[in-house]
């Protein structure tokens, strides 16, 4: 009987650990999650610090704000449009997906990865064997890399330039035609150490050219056709005036 009660208590504890946590229009100082929890911050919810690991899933939705998110193990984090995050720290094999929102600092260590489809990011810092796929951004100020990292950026019309020995930039367009321009630098041995400009584009920053979407191409072509018709119409009117 005693063993049976212990087993029941074990499963009850596991059920509690696996239950979802939703922060909705509330303020919470710290959340610890090292089980299979699902944590969602939305609608004005605020969390000062989230420390999560193993198979946890953390989602920051529209109106949700987190000051510090420490990700460990194989957990997943998702930042959606309207979210606000001050500092993200990805360790081990964590995965981050940024669909939108505002992030001041993204710091990646070990073999952590990030896939970016939108959002406004201040600093993207890569260390050790961390990696990224960057498909689109609303804005980015700094991209800082280490030789052991692997970052792939998708767009077109890429242009690397270094106007001074202390600064290097990458400009171009995303696949939707929007332009980008941000600073890239070599990250020092420590995260807080000074950054160094690149003389040439680093080999561990991969630039993949992708075509404009058909809708954008068709819209641009339509404008050219309309402009051509307008010119011909004006020419005819001039001849008969």
pLDDT, one tens digit per residue, over 39-62 is 999 988 999 999 999 889 999 999
211 pLDDT exceeds 50?
A: yes
Write down the pLDDT at residue 24. Answer: 87
For the four alpha carbons of 153, 102, 62 and 52, in that order, the dihedral sign comes to positive
pLDDT, one tens digit per residue, over 172-210 is 999 999 999 999 998 765 555 566 889 899 999 999 999
Mean pLDDT of 152-165: 93
Whose CA is closest to 86, among 116, 57, 50?
50
148 pLDDT exceeds 90?
A: yes
Mean pLDDT of 28-43: 87
Write down the pLDDT at residue 36. Answer: 66
pLDDT, one tens digit per residue, over 57-85 is 999 999 999 999 999 999 999 999 999 99
Distance of CA 210 to the CA centre of its chain: 19
pLDDT, one tens digit per residue, over 214-231 is 445 444 544 554 455 455
Write down the pLDDT at residue 4. Answer: 39
Write down the pLDDT at residue 3. Answer: 43
Write down the pLDDT at residue 238. Answer: 43
For the four alpha carbons of 91, 74, 45 and 50, in that order, the dihedral sign comes to negative
Buried b (16+ CB within 10 A) or exposed e, 25-50: eeeeeebebebebbbbbbeebbbeeb
Mean pLDDT of 112-133: 97
Q: Which residue has the higher pLDDT, 223 or 149?
A: 149
Write down the pLDDT at residue 26. Answer: 84
Mean pLDDT of the chain: 83
| Reported confidence tier of residue 25, pLDDT bands at 50, 70, 90 | confident
93 pLDDT exceeds 80?
A: yes
33: which 2 tokens? Answer: 């999650």
């Amino acid at each position: 009987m005693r063993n049976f009660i212990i087993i029941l208590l074990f499963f009850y504890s596991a059920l509690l650990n696996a239950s979802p946590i939703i922060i909705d229009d509330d303020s919470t100082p710290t959340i610890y999650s090292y089980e299979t929890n699902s944590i969602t911050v939305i609608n004005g919810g605020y969390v000062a610090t989230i420390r999560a690991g193993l198979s946890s899933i953390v989602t920051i939705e529209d109106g949700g704000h987190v000051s510090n998110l420490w990700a460990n193990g194989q957990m997943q984090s998702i930042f959606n449009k309207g979210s606000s995050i001050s500092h993200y720290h990805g360790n081990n094999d964590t995965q981050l997906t940024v669909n939108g929102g505002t992030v001041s600092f993204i710091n990646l260590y070990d073999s952590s990865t990030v896939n970016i489809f939108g959002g406004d990011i201040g600093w993207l810092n890569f260390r050790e064997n961390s990696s990224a796929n960057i498909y689109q951004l609303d804005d980015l100020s700094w991209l800082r890399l280490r030789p052991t990292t692997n970052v792939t950026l998708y767009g077109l019309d890429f242009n690397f330039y270094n106007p001074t020995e202390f600064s290097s930039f990458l400009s171009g367009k995303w696949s939707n035609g929007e332009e980008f321009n941000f600073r890239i630098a070599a990250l020092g041995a420590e995260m807080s150490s000074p950054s160094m400009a690149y003389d040439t584009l680093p080999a561990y920053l991969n630039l993949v050219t992708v075509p404009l979407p058909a809708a954008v191409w068709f819209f641009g072509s339509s404008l050219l056709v309309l402009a051509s018709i307008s010119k011909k119409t004006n020419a005819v009117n001039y001849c008969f005036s």
